[in-house]
Chain A
Amino acid sequence: AQTVTQSQPEMSVQEAETVTLSCTYDTSESDYYLFWYKQPPSRQMILVIRQEAYKQQNATENRFSVNFQKAAKSFSLKISDSQLGDAAMYFCPARSEKLVFGKGTKLTVNP
């Protein structure tokens, strides 16, 4: 079965500092994407960043970057220069067609 594990239920970071959220996944597919979505208190799911599994280069999007370790099936998200608006639940679903979600990590940003 496809699974996604986010081992950190909660994380906190000081404003302007850097935080890394962990994610591991298990899939038998060879062609897939990995995503990080954020869900703020409004509960809207917002795409943060995505990574094609066949690409070795890690994706970056402004202050957000990933560390994709395909052999280890690890896909962590690094948020640099954290802002108050980054506070949210973060999910890292995986799969090629149907997304499989873990339980998420709640990120708190302290002023």
Chain B
Amino acid sequence: DGGITQSPKYLFRKEGQNVTLSCEQNLNHDAMYWYRQDPGQGLRLIYYSQIVNDFQKGDIAEGYSVSREKKESFPLTVTSAQKNPTAFYLCASRSDAGTGRRETQYFGPGTRLLVL
């Protein structure tokens, strides 16, 4: 089945530790996105990538890093510089076919990150 997978479903981080959240899609989509959701809030954009080996900062990129070495994969690293990482993280992808940038974003099931 085509879709977006995120792993793990739950992730625990110790103080000072870097952790990496996985996002994989087999939809052949060009663009991928990472969002953060805090309780009672909407989603905020962390990073996005429109093509392989290229990515841009979103609205809250500080303390996060990404890579886009393959079209289907867009991992997010939460570094020790992110002082308040506890949140729900959602990955999304979008095709550049059809209307291109205005095409629909489709979301993965999310990863819940908790700090110990």
Smallest CB–CB gap between B90 and chain A, Å?
Answer: 6
Q: Interface of A with B (CB < 8 Å)?
A: 4, 31-33, 35, 37, 42-47, 50, 52, 91, 93, 96-99, 101-104
Q: Evaluate contact between B48 and A44: CB separation under 8 angstroms.
A: no
Task: Collect the chain A residues with CB atoms within 8 Å of residue B41's CB.
Answer: 103-104
Whether a CB of chain A sits under 8 angstroms from the CB of B55 is no
Interface residues of B in 61-116 (CB under 8 A from A): 88, 90, 92, 99, 101-102, 104-107, 109-110
User: How many whole Å from B25's CB to the nearest CB in chain A?
Assistant: 14
**Once bound together, how far apart are the Cα atoms of A45 and B40, in whole Å?**
15
Q: Does B44 contact A (CB under 8 A)?
A: yes
Which residue of the partner chain, among B37, B44, B102, contacts A97 with CB atoms under 8 Å? Answer: B102
Q: Is the CB of B58 within 8 A of A98?
A: yes
A64 CB, nearest partner CB in chain B, Å: 15
Give the complex CA separation of A31 and B103 in angstroms: 12
Closest 6 CB pairs of A and B: A101-B42, A45-B107, A97-B101, A101-B43, A33-B102, A96-B102
- Is B45 an interface residue when CB atoms closer than 8 A count as contact? yes
Which residues 34-62 in B have Cβ within 8 Å of A in the complex? 37, 40-45, 48, 58
- Selected from A43, A50, A93, A98, the residue in CB contact (under 8 A) with B88 is A43
